[in-house]
Amino acid sequence: MASSAVAETSAFVGTEVEDRRRHEHEAEGGIAGALVGVAAGAIAGPPGMIAGAIIGAIVGALAAMALETETVLRAERERELDDTIGVTEGDIGAPNLEHPPPTSGMYSPSSCGVDTWVGGVVAEGPFQPPP
């Protein structure tokens, strides 16, 4: 399911659908910026509202463009990482991975097959009586 979703989204990268989505987001950012600019420019009257709308539209469109670019780059990076760790190729959790050997030579007793039980009362039972 995840690999088909990645394949579907990667098919649209750099296509007409991607360009249309980018232009829509830039237009939305420009409109939002223009509205904020009009509200901020209302302090200076009608000339301030016009100037605020123009400046706000430019700033809003640039901010939307930056956000869209970052989103596309982040999605591309996620696809690369998914390919690297094996999410999309189907070998995630493969038992044939090569792990580095221990550098300190300190193995845990359980991993060496040593029984660590020495008898006595286990701590996960009822409360221990006070000493």
SS3 state at 12:
coil
Q: Is residue 58 part of a domain?
A: yes
| Average pLDDT of the chain, as a whole number | 77
For the chain, what is the domain count?
1
32 lies in a domain? yes
Q: Is 7 a member of any domain? A: yes
83 to 2, 70, 71, 80, 111: CA distances (angstroms): 12, 20, 18, 5, 31
Domain annotation covers residue 101: no
Residue 50 lies in a domain: yes
| Res. 6 pLDDT band, cuts 50 70 90 | very low
Residue 68 lies inside a defined structural domain of this protein:
yes
49 pLDDT band, cuts 50/70/90, is very high
Residue 102 lies in a domain: no
Q: Is the pTM of this model over 0.85?
A: no
Question: The domain containing residue 24 runs over which residues?
Answer: 2-85
Distance CA 124, CA 120 (A): 12
